[in-house]
């Protein structure tokens, strides 16, 4: 009898575990289905928006066609479009000219900077000679218009310091 009660308890516990697992499985699948339905609903909503936009564009195009036939000939339309384009292009062309002049100024500035850098280029022999005379790195840098790190670099390359 004790054995029978124990086996019945195991059966009840195992059934409870199975039921809990089934409940868990159903809830997870339901959540997954809800996510899928939500994503499908958002896609359908986006498609409805696009469809509305297309219908509106089509209606506007049809109204535009009717307006074109009422406005006059293609020559008039061409003249109107040409005037409209000229109005839009003129400010752009002046801005492009300003940008071109700025670019030329920048090029001139860069050329001047590169020329000034080449005129102040240091001479390794001067650095070495001044260092051997006992001048400090700071005084050599000031005299030759260089940074201390440049002076130190030249001395390290020549294995003096």
Q: Are 130 and 143 within 8 A, CB to CB?
A: yes
Is residue 77 within 8 A of residue 71, CB to CB? The reply is yes
> Measured between alpha carbons, how far is residue 12 from residues 1, 16, 40, 112, 119 in Å?
16, 6, 41, 93, 97
Contact between 127 and 137 (Cβ < 8 Å): no
So where are the chain's domains?
A: 2-120, 121-161
Confidence (pLDDT) at 118:
42
pLDDT in tens, 49-85: 998 999 999 888 887 776 655 555 778 878 888 887 7
CA gap 71, 58 in Å, rounded: 20
Residues 7-47 have pLDDT tens digits of: 888 899 999 999 999 999 999 999 999 998 988 988 889 98
Task: Answer yes or no: is pLDDT of 117 > 50.
Answer: no
- CA distances 104 to 16, 36, 82, 92, 98, Å, are 84, 59, 32, 18, 10
- Greater pLDDT, 8 or 4: 8
């Amino acid at each position: 009898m004790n054995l029978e009660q124990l086996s019945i308890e195991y059966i009840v516990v195992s059934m409870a575990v199975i039921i809990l697992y089934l409940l868990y499985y159903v809830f997870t699948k339901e959540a997954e289905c809800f996510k899928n339905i939500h994503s499908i609903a958002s896609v359908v909503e986006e498609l409805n928006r696009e469809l509305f936009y297309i219908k509106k564009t089509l209606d506007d195009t049809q109204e535009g066609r009717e307006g074109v036939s009422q406005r006059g000939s293609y020559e008039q339309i061409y003249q109107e479009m040409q005037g409209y384009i000229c109005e839009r292009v003129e400010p752009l062309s002046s801005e492009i000219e300003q940008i071109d002049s700025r670019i030329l100024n920048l090029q001139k500035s860069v050329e001047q900077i590169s020329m000034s850098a080449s005129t102040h280029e240091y001479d390794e022999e001067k650095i070495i000679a001044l260092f051997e005379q006992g001048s400090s790195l700071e005084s050599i840098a000031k005299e030759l218009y260089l940074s201390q790190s440049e002076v130190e670099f030249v001395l390290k390359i020549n294995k003096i310091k």
